[in-house]
């Protein structure tokens, strides 16, 4: 099992993970993290990062959060680590096994 990524703020530590089912939830919000369009959507609409954080927080913490609770935590995280560092955490938090086709090398 791939462990959750850790997000540390001055006063708290949060677990963040993007499981396959989390990615499916995000697609319902218009963020397809498994395609180039997903990255483009995040760049065009940075507000979507809040939804990525919300669903990744729930998967990492193994706990349901209301949208309001998650967005309050998101504001704390953005204030302390910022969007650039958070964007670097996203690929590390993907919990999907990817196999490489030996024929495609």
In sequence order, what E strands does the chain have? 5-8, 13-16
* Residue 47 CB coordination number (10 Å): 8
Q: How confident is residue 32, by pLDDT bands cut at 50, 70 and 90?
A: confident
Inside any domain, residue 30:
yes
Inside any domain, residue 32:
yes
Tens of pLDDT, residue by residue over 79-97, are: 999 988 988 898 889 888 7
Domain that holds residue 85: 16-94
Tens of pLDDT, residue by residue over 49-80, are: 899 999 999 999 999 999 999 999 999 999 99
Both tokens of 50, joined, read 């809040």
Inside any domain, residue 81:
yes
Residue listed under structure tokens 């998101």: 74
* Residue 20 CB coordination number (10 Å): 13
Inside any domain, residue 102:
no
Supply the Cα-derived Rg of the chain in whole angstroms.
14
Provide the whole-model pTM: 0.83
Number of domains within the chain: 1
Inside any domain, residue 78:
yes
């Amino acid at each position: 099992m791939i462990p959750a990524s850790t997000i540390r703020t001055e006063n708290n530590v949060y677990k963040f993970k993007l499981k396959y089912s989390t990615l499916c939830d995000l697609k319902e919000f218009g963020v397809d993290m498994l395609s180039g369009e997903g990255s483009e959507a995040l760049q065009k609409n940075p507000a979507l990062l809040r939804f990525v954080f919300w669903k990744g927080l729930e998967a990492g913490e193994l706990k349901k959060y209301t949208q309001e609770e998650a967005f309050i935590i998101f504001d704390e995280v953005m204030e302390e680590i910022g969007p650039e560092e958070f964007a670097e955490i996203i690929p590390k938090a993907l919990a999907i096994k990817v196999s490489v086709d030996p024929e495609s090398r």
